[in-house]
Amino acid sequence: MNSPSIDRFSHLDSPINRLDPRVKTLCILAFVLAVVLTPPDRYAAFFLYVVLIFSVIFLSEMPLSFVLKRSLIIVPFALMIGLFNLFFRPFSVFFNILAKSWLSVLALIVLSGTTDFPTLLKALESLGVPKLLTTILSFMYRYIFTLIDQVAKLERARVARSYGRRGLIQLRAAGNILGSLFINTFERGERIYQAMLARGYHGHAHTTRRFTLTRADAAFAAYFTTALAAIGWQAIR
Amino acid sequence: MAGHKMSPVAPAIELIDVSFTYPDGRVALRDINLSVAPGETLVIVGPNGAGKSTLLMSLNGLNRANGSLKIGGTAVTDHNLPEIRRLVGVVFQDPDDQLFMPTVFDDVAFGPLNMGLDVHEIRHSVEDALGLVGLAGFQERLSHHLSFGEKKLVSMASVLAMNPKVLVMDEPTANLDPRAKRHLLSILGELPQTKVISTHDMNAAYVLADRVAVIYQSELVAIGPPAAILTDEPRLLEYGLELPTILGTGRTWKTRET
């Protein structure tokens, strides 16, 4: 099993990794909100946002290449919407779409890259995100790898029997793979539910972890929100 | 061998005329009568589709069978289900079904949390359970990064953490490599719980069992000590089974080693 995971660098012991996940989540949320609410033509503000988020990325000790490569994932989507707008709207709108989506994605990479996913979910929970939602996400995180493995197996079995034929037949095989994956997943869901019942599950899961705020959390929150407020203020002034 | 004869205490498991029919009308169990003494290990053998898993899943009420089913004197009824689920720990065949939480700690803590233990007790029971299966210190590992053998052991720990009186296991040695299998069997041999284990592995059955039960076409067709059941080659073949290879092939049987 060597599926890439989103929290690959969560084991690093950087100042950002050590922060209380709740503080990180709230700061990043504030950042995304500020970026999205900034008027499109405030180029200086966007430049400062970039500086701010990269100061955090630098502190997080994540390899820059990893962060940049990962942030490209948003480009196709943003570019498509952006280009479409380019026909009807001024250039600043195009820039606005690209800049805002890229900055938001960078911020989320900081959050998800420096926090291991289970901890992130617990942080969301303690911030009041409904338990049902976090449970669904935790199942997704747990089983996405199992699913990827299963797809790989089905695909290997298909390749082993199809001698490089192309075209419609391939498409049909892909449909069958999807169907069989769906059935597999559905049945696994039932078995998992049985396993949960067998261990006393009765409708709501409980959790243990408690977080504690430290001075470093306060320092980071102060730095980040002050910088954010300053940038935001000069942008709307 | 546990003293299941004339035991003064209530049997750990008692089934009287237990039947189960699937919603589509297919009969999976027919009039099963069975009693298991505290601390006894009962191994259930039988071909695929005979009803082994159905029987196991009835023991903690996941399948609601007809007839009288008692665990340590407590009847399996809707009302008693929480109690029954605490008494009967089930280790499923595919550990990927059982380990549904992201980390090993969360998974092993799942049962104790549902039992309403406090944080301190939970940490302890997780630590103890992982220690029992030889995986001390695995708390923060991610379930999907474990090897199959490790997943199997964590599945066991996740059940042992609830401190069940009865341990139910569906084909525990399936898909394990020989070393992992030996490790698992030695752990099982040392656990004090009453155990009900289904398997296709005749050798494991021979080594583990105090008694062996044969399920064939939804019925309990034979039950007795392994030296009696697992040495009767003609009947084993009739039931779609085979002699344990540790007995040697043909008619040269070694005595049982434990």
pLDDT at position B2 over 50: no
Q: Which string of DSSP letters, residue by residue, matches B101-129?
A: SSBHHHHHHHHHHHTT--HHHHHHHHHHH
CA distance A21 to A220: 12
Q: Report CB contact under 8 Å: B82, A202.
A: yes
Contact B141, B168 (CB under 8 A): no
Q: How many CB pairs under 8 A join A and B?
A: 81
Share of chain B above pLDDT 70, in %: 93
Q: Report CB contact under 8 Å: B115, A139.
A: no
Q: In terms of C-beta distances under 8 Å and separation of at least 24 residues, what long-range contacts does B127-135 make, across chains too?
A: B128/B160, B128/B161, B129/B157, B129/B158, B129/B160, B129/B161, B130/B104, B130/B154, B130/B157, B132/B156, B132/B157, B132/B160, B132/B187, B132/B191, B133/B157, B133/B160, B133/B187, B134/B183, B134/B187, B135/B104
pLDDT at position B214 over 60: yes
Contact B235, B222 (CB under 8 A): yes
**A27 pLDDT tier (thresholds 50, 70, 90):** very high
Take residue B19 and report the two structure tokens written for it.
């039947």
Closest CA to A3 of A155, A150, A134: A150
| Residue A2: predicted pLDDT | 42
Q: Report CB contact under 8 Å: B85, A145.
A: no
Higher pLDDT: A66 or B256? It is: A66
What stretch of H or E contains A22? helix A21-37
Residue from B63, B96, B99 to probe the interface with A (highest A Cβ count within 10 Å):
B96
Average pLDDT of the residues in B206-223 = 95
Query: Using CB atoms and an 8 Å cut-off, which of residues 159-198 of chain A contact chain B?
Result: 188, 191-192, 194-198
| Domain layout of chain B by residue ranges | 13-247
Domain B13-247: state its class.
alpha beta
Q: Which string of DSSP letters, residue by residue, matches A106-123?
A: HHHHHHHHHS-HHHHHHH
CA distance A186 to A182: 6
Rounded to whole angstroms, what are the CA distances from A16 to A115, A122, A222, B69, B73? Answer: 9, 17, 14, 56, 55
Could you give the ipTM of this predicted complex?
0.80
Q: Chain-wide mean pLDDT for chain A?
A: 85
Average pLDDT of the residues in A17-35 = 92
Number of neighbouring beta carbons within 10 Å of residue A41: 15
Q: What angle do CA B50, A187, A181 make, to 5 degrees?
A: 125
CA dihedral of residues A111, B108, B208, B200 (deg, nearest 10) = -50
Q: Report CB contact under 8 Å: B62, A198.
A: yes
Q: Report CB contact under 8 Å: B82, A201.
A: no
pLDDT at position B17 over 70: yes
Higher pLDDT: B158 or A180? It is: B158
What stretch of H or E contains B19? strand B13-21
pLDDT digits (tens, 9 = 90+) for B188-202: 999 999 999 999 999
CA distance B166 to B32: 19
| Residue B29: predicted pLDDT | 95
- Residue for token digits 């049945």? A187
Average pLDDT of the residues in A144-163 = 82
Contact B154, B142 (CB under 8 A): no
Q: Report CB contact under 8 Å: A142, B99.
A: yes
Q: In what order do the strands lie in the sheet with B211-216?
A: B88-91, B166-170, B194-198, B41-45, B211-216, B219-224
Contact A72, A48 (CB under 8 A): no
pLDDT digits (tens, 9 = 90+) for A187-201: 999 999 999 999 988
pLDDT at position A164 over 80: no
pLDDT at position B254 over 70: no
pLDDT digits (tens, 9 = 90+) for B231-251: 999 999 999 999 998 887 544
pLDDT digits (tens, 9 = 90+) for B128-186: 999 999 999 999 898 888 999 999 999 999 999 999 999 999 999 999 999 999 999 99
- Residue for token digits 């080659």? B233
Contacts of B103 in chain A (CB under 8 A): 118
Phi, psi for residue B177 in degrees, rounded to 5: -75, 165
Contact B56, B198 (CB under 8 A): yes
Higher pLDDT: A89 or B29? It is: B29
**A79 pLDDT tier (thresholds 50, 70, 90):** confident
Q: How far is A29 from chain B (nearest CA, A)?
A: 24
Of B111, B122, B143, the CB nearest to A199: B111
Take residue B148 and report the two structure tokens written for it.
């199959």
Average pLDDT of the residues in A209-218 = 83
Average pLDDT of the residues in A138-143 = 87
- Strand-pair partners of B167: B89, B195
**B116 pLDDT tier (thresholds 50, 70, 90):** confident
Q: Report CB contact under 8 Å: B102, A117.
A: yes
Chain B touched by A208 (CB under 8 Å) = yes
Q: How far is B144 from chain A (nearest CA, A)?
A: 7
| Residue A131: predicted pLDDT | 85
